[in-house]
Structure 1
Amino acid sequence: MVKLGNKEVSSIGLGTYGMGGKNSPDYKNDAKEVEAIKYAITNGMNLIDTAEYYGHGHSEELVGKAIKDFEREDLFIISKVWPVNLHYKDVINSAKESLKRLDTDYIDLYLIHWPNPKIPVKETLGAMGELLDSHLIRNIGVSNFDIANLTEAIDQLKHGKIIANEVEYNLENYYIEDDLIPFCEKNNIKIIGYSPLNQGRISSKINHVAKSLGMSSIQCTLGYLKKKSIPIPKASSISHINELVECMNIDLDENEYNRIKEAVRR
């Protein structure tokens, strides 16, 4: 478990992009995907990541159905507001619509999904502050923000604090370790890493070192990424979820971490 906001969350979370559709709703796998989310939670993955954009809201509906069987306070639900909805009133409306679809009273962490240069971040963060005061969200975060975006957001936020930045982080996109991650660490902003397994394209760079460490490539990859982030791979099959659950127990020592890092950057 790791600390995020005021809660302990699983060191690997469950991403849901593609569950319930991508750009539009897809209902054909609903029962399977709800059961997959339930199975992940039952096996210790209490952090679930979704967004109003995923399946045009249907992903949130599936998450809402899945979490009904669990104590809400034991879970950590992340959702996101799409960049066209970053004006003050639109943010408030988007959050309320997400809450309806999730069928819950609050969102643990609400993120700006992507920066929108046409809408002042100050206006968006003002709405986030209102949501915080209204107890509709418990934490504020961002997604896909670079250092310039983050610097502006930190400067403009007058209420609360930015606790997380959700960005792509995998062994092909490791370069954020050189600048963005240190900046976030300095400002106590947790990195949440989406596409940690690069959508199934595991880097061949680590096959040899994984074998020498007695790990699978997935275990090696997630063990490495966990050191500086909370990875949130998407999984909708029981076998894949079991792999992720096993990875939650992996804690690389410094030598193992550095061997993987050297292989990745070779």
Structure 2
Amino acid sequence: MGKNEEQLTDLVHDYAYSSIEKFYNETEIMPFRIQVDNEATRISFWDSKNESKTRKNYMYTSNIMKGGFQAIDKFNLAHQNEKNIIKVLHLDGIVALSKWKSVLNEYLLKNNLINYVDEIGITSYLEWWQGSEHLFDIITMIKKEYGLNSSVSETSNMFTMNETNLSGDLENSQHEKNEYSEVPVSATQITMINSMMEAASKASPNYQTGIYWWEPAWLLTNGKISWTTKEGIVYCESNNQQNQKLFMTGNT
């Protein structure tokens, strides 16, 4: 039986709370930061019976996510947590600054998540984006416009570039599309990661910034690639084996 919006919100709340409680009880570790979603977009949730009206409805998605944020608040209160768990809204990898602001206005202001969210999680892939300078601009804009700090919730280097300076420091991190190196170079990947961390640190000098390496399933597993399934391979084109082995040998 399908669930209406209120029922689904309650389920998200209950699942989130029980998950945090279970983790804490079994590990005795108090979480520091929790994101309630992964790459939210305006079409994360919709009513299949009424898709035309709800498919592009930010409020529908926002209300459901509130259940997760409220669960974290409830946990903090129940455990009298002196350092409240940081609540993160993780948005999809939007490129244009104007689009970032448009989506954030919908979620944070129009649909009131500004009263629940402590931090914005950013998806950032420098080889697909416009380099680390653009990441700096996004973090700076979010802090200025909404008073919220940001962190890179998702990043990875599936490829390396032909030239190191195409993925280098903050001022020289631009590159053209598809300039991928046939032979991966660990120094290039290291430079790219460092430039990303530099951008985040410079944009938020007084905040505990960092990056979260993502998509571990894109690595080779038993000779297979992507998520080791046909669906996974369709989702992401198979990556250069040498590039993946480079990561697995600890060179990046």
TM-score normalized by structure 2?
A: 0.47
- Rg (Cα) greater in structure: 2
**Highest relative contact order (Cα 8 Å, sep 6+), 1 or 2?**
1
What's the TM-score, normalizing by structure 1?
0.45
